[in-house]
Amino acid sequence: MLCLEAIYLPLYSYIDYGLKRYHRLPTFPLRTCLLRHCRAQGKLVVKWAVLVQIIYLMYATLQEWWWCGFVCFQLLLDIGWEQCKPFILSRTYTLTPLVDGELKQRLQNLMRRLSTSVRGIYVLTKPGAKVAPNAFVVGWGWTRQISIVHTMLERFSLDEIEVILAHELAHHVYFDIWKRLFARAGIRVIAYYLIAMLMLGLVDIPIYLFDGFSDSTTVPFLLSLFVLSWLVTTSIMNSYSRMMEHRADEFALRTTDLHQAFKSAMVRLANINEILAHEDSNSSHPSIVSRIRHAEEWAARNT
């Protein structure tokens, strides 16, 4: 793992620092970039080390069915993470209830039209730091809440904020959080079953002298297979996520009929956050170009 990090850290620093400076995009100083990446990768190494211990613990208790237990364990972690997002957000940022006014009234009317509700509408700030404009819905059930970054209130119109939040609420109307969780779990079932079968084949190869699956010398093979499965799972889930995002865009346009505000919001977000408006790639969200094109196609069909 340390050898892989020795290769990955310089490469990622070049991408985050060198390329951004080459394209004249805002970035942190080199020392700050290195410290951020070392901290992030250190956490990742610890995370993978803990996961390996959990896998061998699953094998010790469930034997050949360890992969089923590991899928269930990760599913419970994902559900808990989604449930606790509002609490984690409140520990990092300052959340202030949105004052009564036209925006709050419009958002409440929007939720009534969608037959949905939230625990509250909050303005998100972080004293002493610049936060990029954003608006989102986090949590589910009794923890669901709308959060609007204060810079969005300052730079975006009411129509733009309304159509962005209609997009976010669409994910809850369509139960996209649950669909995403169980879709990921389904892919993991297939991937981990294949890993279990491959590991059983590996331990039977005489040249490696493995003393069964629980032999510690199987760790490099196990890590390599899990990293490969993570790449495949991420690629599939990103494609699925882009489909969900396009559907949420169309829902927001149909609900609010604010396609001009949607397009201007996308352009404004791209300009403020220095997003490159490239075509769709292996990302969890569609590109700005395809989202604007989708809004224009929707407007042409419905005029």
Q: Which residue has the higher pLDDT, 270 or 80?
A: 80
Tokens of 197: 């079968």
Q: For residue 4, what are the CA distances in angstroms to 10, 224, 295?
A: 11, 11, 42
Q: Are 139 and 114 in contact (CB under 8 A)?
A: no
Determine the pLDDT at residue 240.
92
**Domain locations in the chain as residue ranges:** 2-301
DSSP assignment of 190-250 equals HHHHHHHHHHHHHHT-GGGT--STT-GGGHHHHHHHHHHHHHHHHHHHHHHHHHHHHHHHH
Sorted by sequence, the CB contacts under 8 Å of residue 226 that are 6+ apart come out as 48, 51, 195
What residues pair up with 94 in beta bridges, in sequence order? 125
The tokens of 106 are what?
């419009």
- For 233-243, the pLDDT digits (tens) are 988 998 999 89
SS3 state at 57? helix
pLDDT of 236-291, one tens digit each? 998 999 899 999 999 999 998 888 999 998 888 877 665 544 555 567 788 888 88
